[in-house]
Structure 1
Amino acid sequence: MSLISVTNLTFAYEGSYDNIFENVNFQIDTDWKLGFTGRNGRGKTTFLNLLLGKYEYSGHIAAHVGFEYFPFQVEHKENNTIDVIEDLFPDYVQWKLIRELSLLKVSEDVLYRPFDSLSNGEQTKVLLATLFIKENRFLLIDEPTNHLDMHARKLVSDYLKTKSGFILVSHDRSFLDNCVDHILSINKTSIEIQKGNFSSWWENKKRQDQFELAENEKLRKDIKRLSDSAKRTSNWSHEVEKTKNGTRNSGSKVDKGYIGHKAAKMMKRSKAIEQRQQSAIDEKSKLLKNIENADSLEISQLAYHKKQLVQLEHVSIFYDEKKVCTDINLMIEQGERIALSGQNGSGKSSIIKLICGEELNYTGTLRKDHQLQISYVSQDTSHLQGKLSDYAAHHGIDESLFKSILRKLDFSRVQFEKDMSTFSGGQKKKVLIAQSLSEKVHLHIWDEPLNFIDVISRIQIEELLLEYAPTILFVEHDKEFCENVATKIIEL
């Protein structure tokens, strides 16, 4: 066991006016299984790069271990997997590699296949196995779950549960809950560490947020009451002071010393009230700094004149005469939220593309009215470029609604002026989801919409789908999201 100490860490990218980190202090035990969470764009990957020494910063990071980052960059994917591993780790011990592959349920024969012929899940598992045979290293594991199906996520999470000495960036709640024992969270104005898994951290955060909101309301009322009292007392002191130059009702002369003393006493009281008011304002300013902008979202889906929107009967889909899925029967009715589930390669995306109107070779019957309006969110975000305003105009959606949804999903106004090609993976996915939610359609179809999207935004989207109950067909490997949202799960 050793400690990684972060002291007064301050960092901003060159040319930026805003610090990503400012005077950050904390310590990490190298035996921890540390989950790393926070909104998209808050600096999770940046912090990992600071640990790796990629950027200059002020402050101090002290560690008695080396760091290793996942995912590895594979330069020659056409090479056999065994050669790829040797390029990454020339001194590896083969029996240790075979042991790790076995724990990840990967057969040894993948080592003698070209790396690019492996599925996304197989590639992830091979690289994780390579990562964990490196000794005396603290591991920085950055979003390993993207493109892993639900079965593979459970397998990888169980694997990580047996390990220690890592920081794991993931937005999958079930995945984190199963395999971490501490949470490192990047909040709006601070970084903090708590013992426990994601769910215990989230419950603590909600309790803290509720406490701060209650304190904020109490202080707001106190400030108003003290402000009103200060005004009344100040007015009284001025009125009393004015009588010094007048006379009493009896006609006798005014006791100026008495009235002056009374006015001074009331002015003193007024000052005391103002000080208490300022103290309450100062206290209030310390609150709400880490409460996330998690406002509810709003959509309105078009009603359709039929209850039944889409029907597939005994559908089989082919690519180059290879059958991808067989004898699929599926009916989508208004108000249903259907999750398509199954291992990668089982034909989920093919079914979605067929319903969306893509020309595919298939047998069986597809019934879909030509008037049916569909909004599709694809896995691919590589086409996003240019300004958000131009994008909204090109797609014929309401720009103010589009940007309002993005604001609620934690986009800063500065982002609206940037080119979308510079956005993070999570921010690009949010653009596609905001576009979909802005479109007037009868049916939403989303293909792995949550890849790269932060946990808090996932919870917002989840609550939206539960509140407005749009008709939606989706593929998603986040177990908790599927279980909470879907009215029906179809396993392929």
Structure 2
Amino acid sequence: MLLNVSHIYKSFGEDSIIKDATFTVDEGSKVAIVGNNGTGKSTLLKIIIGDLPADDGEVTLKKDATMGYLAQYQEDSFGSNILDTVLSAREDLLSMERHLAEMEQQMSEIAHSEMEAFMENYHKLQHQFDLKGGYTFRSEAVGILKGLGFEGDELSKSMNELSGGQKTRVSLGRLLASAPDLLLLDEPINHLDLNSIMWLEGYLASYKGAVVIVAHDRYFLDKIADHVVDLSYGRTSVYTGNYSSFVAQKELAQISYENAYEKQQKEIEHQKAVIEKLQSYNREKSIKRAESRKKLLDKMDVMDAPDKDLPKMRLTLEIEKESGKDVLDFSHVTKSYDDKNIFTDLSFDVHKGDRIAILGDNGTGKTTILKCINGLTDFESGEIRFGANVTVGYYDQEQQGLTESNTIFSELHDAYPFLTETKVRNTLAAFMFTEDDVFKRISDLSGGERGRVSLAKLMLSKSNLLILDEPTNHLDMDSKQMLEEALNEYDGTLLYVSHDRYFVNKTANTILELSNGVLTKYLGNYDDYIAKKEQLFGSASSSGAAQSSGANQEATAAKLDFKEQKRIEAEKRKLQNRILKIEQEIESLEAEKTAIDEEFLKPENMTNSAKLNELTAKQNKINDKLDSLYQQWEEISSL
């Protein structure tokens, strides 16, 4: 056992956040902490690392184990530039590296009588440096930064030039480079694009240490977690398996909890009735017995009402009329911003019943496509046509369709003035706005509340084409599930942009990947999309040809002809042969390095400063070559 969290309690004023958190983390385990917004997930992490005191309970870390923590928001910067910041995570190696360099400079000045002891200390330090990865940690740091989306010249960029999101990525890189026994990560993928998220999934899945993660990306948790800690009602329940396994198990646990809750409620009512009856006898013995029962009742650990008794968003998406078969024609559209081309001659069709997700890295123009369709931004050329009887409902991730000065009630009533006050209130209640909450100003709402208001307006529109921009942003886990279920029962057509791969996997039947201004179409959900991309491994050249011509791709495995498959296999063999040669070079250099170590220890050399300098120079040259070869090996292996 690496970490033991035992009976943690935490309150802020009168608000009791964590009422009994208990779980363990074994060495090498990958644990996800889940729960709706405000359940105390980040608070629990801060208690574990000692940033916040617990009101009660204990956190125990295995003796001599190391722990690293990534907060959601970064306040500090380390080092002068990006690479130095990440390298500073291994100050132990940097210190040893400096010490070795100093010893090498001193070799020619050491007296003969002290040389043997000096060289023994030097080799001990060198061996320790080697065992700790001293000759590879620089290339490993560069590999981590590349995985997190930093390339080439960016590594020398000053930390003062970076945005908050970039600093968070650098902090994550620094933490990964430090390789602690236990990683604590609070929303680690908030500022990562899709490629970096996929890289991080692979990195954490194979990470030798233990990982505890708080994240809202359910697909990410599915790929990494082997245990899930559910922090609901302020208490923890531990499940074995990934996120999807947890969801299935929790449904069964929920039934069990509801039965136990109902049983306890009946027992409480029974005891209250007995107490009241005993008190009515008005005798000394009966009153004492009533008091005794009341004390026991007061000490009872009363279970919280189950989820079904707590407010939940209720969403039903209906259409007022059917659309025609052809819903949308996005034809040869070109769009630029301030002389920067976003996409050129872009085309795709949407047909009735399609559920299309547009995927791509940040800044590729996904949201711009939706804004063009909705008339919120102009485009230079091309045509966008809607089919017969198409009515559009639009969900804007920036919530610009909301009037800041409106109350929640007036926002819905202004949009749908024909609705009665009762209908508006009932709709808002379905989205967890009740009583005086409906008179909150839009400007005062949180991101999650604004999202629910926009979804309420979307539901009332009864449109047969829904265009959604990042609809799961700011929604808690339960609300995301409600939205998925509503969309899967929706009879209309769906076009959306989302980075939530779990959501895409549950709701899409077509993927459009936008990369370098070109759309590639994949049939199926997110899992199908990934599988087909793997089948298309090495098809970058054909993709590049399509991009240069500005044509769209219909990318399926069947389109790879025999010649293309042969080319791919040849490329793979070239890489494998290059890896083999590098490994042989490494083996040869390691043998040379061992031979030089033996030369250092020969009596005739230990007194010869010129020879020692010569051997040291050879050794340094070999170490430099090895560092370069290890980096090449890592880069080619990743390809």
1:322-333 paired onto structure 2 within 5 Å: 322-333=340-351
Residue 334 of structure 1 deviates from its aligned partner by 3.8
CA distance in 2, matches of 1:134, 1:381: 40
Map Cα deviations across residues 267-310 of structure 1 (whole Å, 9 max, x no partner).
xxxxxxxxxxxx9xx99x86963557667522323326644332
CA distance in 1, matches of 2:416, 2:84: 50
Unaligned runs of 5+ in 2: 95-137, 271-296, 418-422, 514-518, 520-639
Match of 1:353 in 2: 371
CA contact (8 A) 1:182 1:196 kept: yes
Give the AA of the match of 1:157.
E
Match of 1:3 in 2: 3
CA distance in 1, matches of 2:339, 2:160: 22
CA distance in 1, matches of 2:263, 2:5: 38
CA distance in 1, matches of 2:202, 2:416: 45
Give the AA of the match of 2:145.
L
Q: 2:237 aligns with which of 182, 188, 192?
A: 192
Residue 312 of structure 1 deviates from its aligned partner by 1.1
CA distance in 1, matches of 2:471, 2:336: 25
Cα gap change, 1:401 to 1:314, in 2 (>3 Å): farther
Identical counterparts, % of pairs: 27
CA contact (8 A) 1:190 1:290 kept: no
Map Cα deviations across residues 416-457 of structure 1 (whole Å, 9 max, x no partner).
676666665444433433332233434321111113433332
CA distance in 2, matches of 1:329, 1:313: 4
Give the AA of the match of 1:69.
L
1:299 aligns with 2:317: yes
Cα gap change, 1:55 to 1:423, in 2 (>3 Å): farther
Residue 2 of structure 1 deviates from its aligned partner by 3.2
Give the AA of the match of 1:35.
A
CA contact (8 A) 1:9 1:25 kept: no
CA distance in 2, matches of 1:375, 1:113: 43
CA distance in 1, matches of 2:148, 2:184: 19
Residue 372 of structure 1 deviates from its aligned partner by 5.8
Residue 130 of structure 1 deviates from its aligned partner by 1.6
Q: 1:406 aligns with which of 416, 431, 451?
A: 431
Match of 2:594 in 1: none
Give the AA of the match of 1:454.
D
Residue 315 of structure 1 deviates from its aligned partner by 1.6
3-state SS of 1:328 partner: strand
Match of 1:446 in 2: 468
1:69 aligns with 2:70: yes
Q: 1:479 aligns with which of 494, 497, 501?
A: 501
Root-mean-square deviation (CA, aligned residues, Å) is: 4.4
Residue 192 of structure 1 deviates from its aligned partner by 1.9
CA contact (8 A) 1:337 1:473 kept: yes
Cα gap change, 1:55 to 1:464, in 2 (>3 Å): same
Corresponding pairs, count: 431
Cα gap change, 1:340 to 1:181, in 2 (>3 Å): same
3-state SS of 1:132 partner: helix
Cα gap change, 1:340 to 1:120, in 2 (>3 Å): farther
1:209 aligns with 2:234: no
Match of 2:523 in 1: none
Residue 199 of structure 1 deviates from its aligned partner by 1.8
CA distance in 1, matches of 2:413, 2:90: 49
Match of 1:129 in 2: 173
Residue 35 of structure 1 deviates from its aligned partner by 0.7
CA contact (8 A) 1:74 1:84 kept: no
CA contact (8 A) 1:187 1:290 kept: no
Residue 461 of structure 1 deviates from its aligned partner by 0.9
1:435 aligns with 2:432: no
Cα gap change, 1:83 to 1:376, in 2 (>3 Å): farther
Map Cα deviations across residues 58-101 of structure 1 (whole Å, 9 max, x no partner).
11343445552334526789x96447768999889655522422
Q: 1:156 aligns with which of 189, 200, 207?
A: 200
1:462 aligns with 2:506: no
CA distance in 1, matches of 2:468, 2:8: 43
CA distance in 1, matches of 2:387, 2:504: 27
The TM-score, its normalising length taken from structure 1, stands at 0.71
Match of 2:333 in 1: 315
3-state SS of 1:158 partner: helix
The TM-score, its normalising length taken from structure 2, stands at 0.57
Residue 182 of structure 1 deviates from its aligned partner by 1.5
1:143-182 paired onto structure 2 within 5 Å: 143-146=187-190, 148-163=192-207, 164-182=209-227
CA distance in 2, matches of 1:317, 1:27: 53
CA distance in 1, matches of 2:430, 2:386: 30
* Higher normalized helix content (fraction of residues): 2
Cα gap change, 1:157 to 1:452, in 2 (>3 Å): farther
CA contact (8 A) 1:106 1:122 kept: no
CA distance in 2, matches of 1:149, 1:95: 23
CA distance in 2, matches of 1:63, 1:75: 27
CA distance in 1, matches of 2:180, 2:483: 40
Unaligned runs of 5+ in 1: 227-278
Give the AA of the match of 1:202.
V
Residue 155 of structure 1 deviates from its aligned partner by 2.0
Match of 1:259 in 2: none
Match of 2:15 in 1: 18
CA distance in 2, matches of 1:92, 1:469: 61
3-state SS of 1:193 partner: strand
CA distance in 1, matches of 2:26, 2:4: 6
Residue 200 of structure 1 deviates from its aligned partner by 1.9
CA contact (8 A) 2:329 2:350 kept: yes
Residue 158 of structure 1 deviates from its aligned partner by 1.3
Residue 137 of structure 1 deviates from its aligned partner by 7.0
CA contact (8 A) 2:18 2:39 kept: no
3-state SS of 1:155 partner: helix
Range 60-69 or range 2-11, more displaced: 60-69
Q: 2:380 aligns with which of 362, 377, 386?
A: 362
CA contact (8 A) 2:20 2:235 kept: no
3-state SS of 1:20 partner: strand
CA contact (8 A) 1:337 1:469 kept: no
1:33 aligns with 2:53: no
CA distance in 2, matches of 1:445, 1:66: 44
Residue 106 of structure 1 deviates from its aligned partner by 4.3
CA distance in 1, matches of 2:505, 2:438: 34
